[in-house]
Amino acid sequence: MASSLVQQQEFSAATLGKAKYCLLDFLSCVHSTMHFPWVQQALAVARKNSSMETGGAQVFGTPHHVSVQDAAFVNAIAGHSLVRDDMHVGSVSHLGVVVLPAALALAENKQVDGKTLLEAIVCGYEAGGKLGSMLMDVETAKRIRPTGLIGSFAAAATGARLNGLDAEQTANALGFASNYFTGLNEWAAWGSDDMYFHPGIAVRNGISALLLAQQGATAAAGSIEGTAGLFAALGKTAPASPVLPFAGQEEIQQVFFKQVPACNYAQTAAQVALKIKQEHALAINEIQAITVKVPYAAANYPGCDYPGPFNSILQARMSIHFNVARALLYGDFNDTHFQDYSSETLQHLSKLITLEIDDALTKAYPEQQGAAIRLTNVNGQTLDANLEDVIPAGTEEVMNRSSHALATVLGEEQSSTLLDLITRLESLNNLDTVFDLLRPENRK
């Protein structure tokens, strides 16, 4: 994998275009969440570690500059805090919140052009997607957070391409990164904050792996597939022959953007509920029972099959029950409704919901991620609706929400100029203007 990542490979306009939309979606999430308490906690830790007026890298949405590792750490946490960040289904991972903060923090300290940045982003998605798809299954995901497991690897691959490491250095960076996985899934049982910090720790570890390799440190050649390597540590068998990057469609093309600011496995069920709300006149107080059919993976991911009580916003974002109830009650996916997670109406409606594992949906997953809902009212009448697959947010929706989030922090003029530059990023000889426009202190 290492030699393939450092080869001068030409990517199609579609692939580079997808990388730009991944970047826009990430920035929209970051600029919507800096006020969240756990993001402020991460920022306080980063500022205590290192604070500098020049050098380092910026924490987006703030005037603060900290070390490269700390900037990536906070930006990753902010990007993950809406739980709306992009999704790679094969690896069950949010690759953008490790790849993009690594790419941006490193690029701010190195004179690279826009095309090199985009190529590094594509490489990060490729490495994380390939490794994650081999390692992740439902049982592993019950205990170990997928993004935490492969995040350091994806971040290190991004940095290796961006910093121009050779094949040997790249192999060492990836070897170190495979040692640095993080993230247990116990948080789902408690509604605690652990999950938000997983990508931040992963990206910090990935950058450290990159910098160690760049200094000449060597990692075990069998760090991934050896008898005591990553596969063995997870009780898995390494593939008999190498899995090469960029064999077939690039992994970044497998990524989709969420419509709902919630867990991946709640997306389709929430969309079915919204469909019902939009197409039928519902009397919420007359609903007696709701059955939601989902694939096995959705019912078994931590926090998804949870009817309440909801004691934190994260429990609400993860719960299929809550997301279905919210869509039926409000008829939209507005994030503000999640702040009302203790609502008596939502709590009551969530408790009427039962999850069922559907064999046909399970067989179709992960190529398709479907869901079906049956509503039963107090008179015994039923209403059925389904979707065969999740409906991703389209590029227009990504652009609109990016424009709104950036304008809120940077102002309309600065945001508009920044968006224009990002849409033609591959034509830029340097990124100085992009980083200047990302600074809220430069707001006009």
Report CA-CA distances (Å) from 113 to 26, 225, 282.
Answer: 20, 35, 54
pLDDT tens digit sequence for 316-367? 999 999 999 999 999 999 998 888 888 999 999 999 999 999 999 999 999 9
Please give the pLDDT value at position 342.
87
CATH fold, domain 2-256, is 2-methylcitrate dehydratase PrpD (1.10.4100)
Smallest Cα–Cα separation from 45: which of 81, 25, 74? Answer: 74
284 vs 151: CA distance, rounded Å: 42
Q: What residue segments make up the domains of the chain, in order of their start?
A: 2-256, 264-387
Mean pLDDT in the chain?
95
Distance, in Å, from the CA atom of 190 to the CA atom of 242, rounded to the nearest integer, reads: 40
Same fold, 2-256 and 264-387: no
**Nearest-5° Cα angle at 285, 280 to 291:** 65
Pairing of strands 87-88, 65-66: unpaired
DSSP string, 364-424: HTTT---EEEEEEETTS-EEEEEESS--PPPHHHHHHHHHHHHHHHH-HHHHHHHHHHHHT
Can you give the pLDDT at residue 234?
96
Q: Are 388 and 364 in contact (CB under 8 A)?
A: yes
The CA distance from 3 to 8, in Å, is 10
pLDDT tens string 357-386: 999 999 999 999 999 999 999 999 999 999
d(CA 174, CA 154): 8
Beta strand pairing call for 287-294 and 65-66: unpaired
Q: CATH second-level architecture of 264-387? A: 2-Layer Sandwich (3.30)
**Region of residue 380 (left: phi > 0; alpha: psi -120 to 50; beta: else):** left
Q: pLDDT for 204-256, tens place per residue?
A: 999 999 999 999 999 999 999 999 999 999 999 999 888 889 988 899 999 99
Look up residue 208 and give its amino acid.
S
Q: Is 40 exposed, middle or buried (0-12, 13-18, 19+ CB in 10 A)?
A: middle
d(CA 4, CA 68): 26
Q: What is the pLDDT of residue 336?
A: 86
